[in-house]
């Protein structure tokens, strides 16, 4: 078997001490031998840094002033050393074999530049003091999220980075740009991301989340009317 290529996992976090250990445990559980884990701490005021320092695996820890999830992801992309890039938000988790499924799909078809799996929502039952294993699950209930995908670096060079002017649905906006640009991609039937909905998440405000989705869709419509403006860079 060919040597496993280096893969950069970019994990943006803001005040994620309640969930970060579980997210990182799910990365370790992938048992992938060539991971570069990059945590971009977007100005946390909790114990996020302590959690990272106490972890057993090697982690590149980068701290910056709070700029939102798009800014944190963009910093991670600039710092990443691998040609393959994956994302995981600090309050989400990857199911078993998530990375393997995505990587195998990419390697079977060299023409592909990215692969995107499906998302399962994990709804937390109660207000959270600690990350709780007591969950309610709704399968396949969300649109595409970048945490379910795997991307070659060349994709970012072609269509640009995440829009730092968006605090909600910045990943949807980027994924729509990806599709508009005709990047060779494949969608998997398998669930590759567990999205955990909780009281502290950005999506807790339903009205704000819906406004973010509406804005991303409107931006997509405007780009499709003016194809030459379909790329954005940070």
**So what's the pLDDT on residue 213?**
73
**So what's the pLDDT on residue 221?**
77
The answer to whether 115 and 149 have CB atoms below 8 angstroms apart is: yes
Whole-model pTM: value is: 0.84
The candidate with the shortest Cα–Cα distance to 91, out of 179, 39, 42, 20, is 20
Beta strands in the chain (DSSP E): 7-13, 35-41, 60-63, 84-87, 114-124, 135-138, 149-152, 185-197
**So what's the pLDDT on residue 7?**
98
Question: Cα 114 vs. chain centroid, distance in angstroms?
Answer: 13
How many whole angstroms separate alpha carbon 150 and alpha carbon 145? 11
Q: Which residues contact 28 (CB under 8 A, 6 or more apart)?
A: 57
How many whole angstroms separate alpha carbon 124 and alpha carbon 143? 19
Residue 27 is encoded by which pair of tokens?
Answer: 């990365």
Q: Which residues contact 234 (CB under 8 A, 6 or more apart)?
A: 70, 71, 74, 160, 161, 162, 163, 164
Each residue's pLDDT expressed in tens, for the chain with a length of 234 residues: 478 899 999 999 999 999 999 999 999 999 999 999 999 999 999 999 999 999 999 999 999 999 999 999 999 999 999 999 999 999 999 999 999 999 999 999 999 999 999 999 887 654 433 333 333 344 444 557 999 999 999 999 999 999 998 888 888 899 999 999 999 999 999 999 999 886 655 445 666 666 767 776 777 677 878 755 444 444
Q: Where are the domains of the chain?
A: 7-229
Architecture of domain 7-229: Alpha-Beta Complex (3.90)
3-state secondary structure 48-91: HHHHHHCCCCCCEEEECCCCCHHHHHHHHHHHCCCCEEEECCCC
**So what's the pLDDT on residue 93?**
96
**So what's the pLDDT on residue 166?**
86
The candidate with the shortest Cα–Cα distance to 117, out of 139, 91, 90, 84, is 139
The answer to whether 136 and 27 have CB atoms below 8 angstroms apart is: no
Question: Cα 126 vs. chain centroid, distance in angstroms?
Answer: 25
């Amino acid at each position: 078997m060919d040597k496993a290529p280096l893969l950069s996992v970019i994990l943006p976090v803001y005040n994620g001490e309640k969930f970060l250990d579980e997210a990182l445990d799910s990365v370790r559980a992938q048992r992938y031998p060539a991971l570069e884990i990059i945590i971009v701490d977007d100005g946390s005021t909790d114990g996020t840094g302590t959690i990272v320092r106490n972890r057993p695996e090697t982690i590149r820890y980068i701290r910056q002033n709070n700029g939102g999830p798009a800014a944190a992801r963009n910093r991670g992309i600039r710092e990443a050393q691998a040609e393959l890039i994956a994302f995981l938000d600090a309050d989400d988790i990857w199911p078993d074999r998530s990375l393997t499924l995505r990587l195998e799909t990419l390697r079977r078809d060299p023409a592909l530049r990215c692969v995107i799996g499906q998302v399962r929502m994990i709804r937390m039952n109660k207000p959270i003091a600690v990350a709780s294993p007591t969950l309610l699950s709704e399968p396949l209930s969300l649109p595409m999220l970048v945490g379910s995908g795997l991307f070659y670096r060349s994709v970012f060079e072609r269509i640009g980075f995440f829009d730092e002017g968006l605090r909600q649905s910045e990943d949807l906006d980027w994924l729509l740009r990806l599709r508009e640009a005709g990047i060779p991609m494949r969608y998997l039937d398998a669930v590759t991301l567990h999205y955990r909905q909780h009281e502290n998440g950005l999506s807790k405000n339903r009205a704000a989340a819906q406004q973010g989705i509406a804005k991303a869709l409107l931006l997509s419509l405007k780009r499709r009317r003016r194809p030459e403006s379909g790329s954005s860079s940070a």
